[in-house]
Amino acid sequence: MKRLLCITMVFVAALPLAFSQGKAFTVRAFAPIDFGGKYMEENSFLGSYGVDTKMGFGVGGEAMFRVANRVNLGVGLQYLFYRGFDTNKASDSKFGFMPIYGLFAFDFNQRVLDPYMIVRIGYGIFNGNDAFTENGHKDLLGGMAFAVGGGASFNVPSTPLNFFAELDYASNGGEEASKITYRRIETCLGLSFTL
């Protein structure tokens, strides 16, 4: 697992550099925050059910470059910290994802407040704490990860520094004995640097 994480981090950092060819290059660091979502399991024997989740946080980084006027492509990596279930009974079970993805962003090229739309598609590594895996979730496999949303970047004049805020609809999939889907509305707050 550590080897996969290291290889992924090198890939995420190197890919935009390899293809940027002197174009504007942007690095973004941010914190995704979701205010509770829906965890769903679909099993051929037991049917399907959904459980609300508690609030969750994460950290993320992205690198992208401008390929045409207003169009950016890039790659990213997020780590979503473990989050629990919003149930009446006490439970220590928590789960999380680590999405690795490509992204497409379209900005409106404004000077100070620059709105944009963004789409992320990739693979989410699925994991859980000991209580989650001991509760019948042993062989966790990842699945498709995607997010679509929009936001605005506040560009600080005369510097490469920008602040941004974003609102997304996001989904992560996984598998073990059941098909897992975790859907939520999230907001992302962060900083970006254009090189």
- Which residue has better confidence, 99 or 155? 99
Q: How many domains does the chain have?
A: 1
Tens digit of pLDDT for each residue in 22-73?
567 899 999 999 988 999 988 766 667 788 999 999 999 999 988 888 899 9
Range of the domain at 146: 2-194
Neighbours of 74 (CB within 10 A): 26
Contact between 154 and 4 under an 8 Å Cβ cutoff? The reply is no
Q: Which token pair is 134? A: 């001991």
* Whether the predicted model's global pTM rises above the 0.85 cut: no
d(CA 108, CA 156): 16
Residue 2: what pLDDT? 47
161 Cβ contact partners less than 8 Å away, ≥ 6 residues apart: 191, 192, 193
- Which residue has better confidence, 109 or 135? 109
CA–centroid distance for 177 within its chain? 24
For residue 117, the domain's CATH number is: 2.40.160.20
Q: Tell me the average pLDDT of the chain.
A: 84
> Which bin fits 22, alpha (ψ -120 to 50), beta or left (φ > 0)?
left
Residue 168, CA atoms < 13 Å, CB-side half-sphere: 25
37: nearest Cα among 188, 169, 173:
169
Neighbours of 112 (CB within 10 A): 9
Q: Which residue is associated with the tokens 């620059």?
A: 114
Residue 82 has pLDDT above 50, yes or no: yes
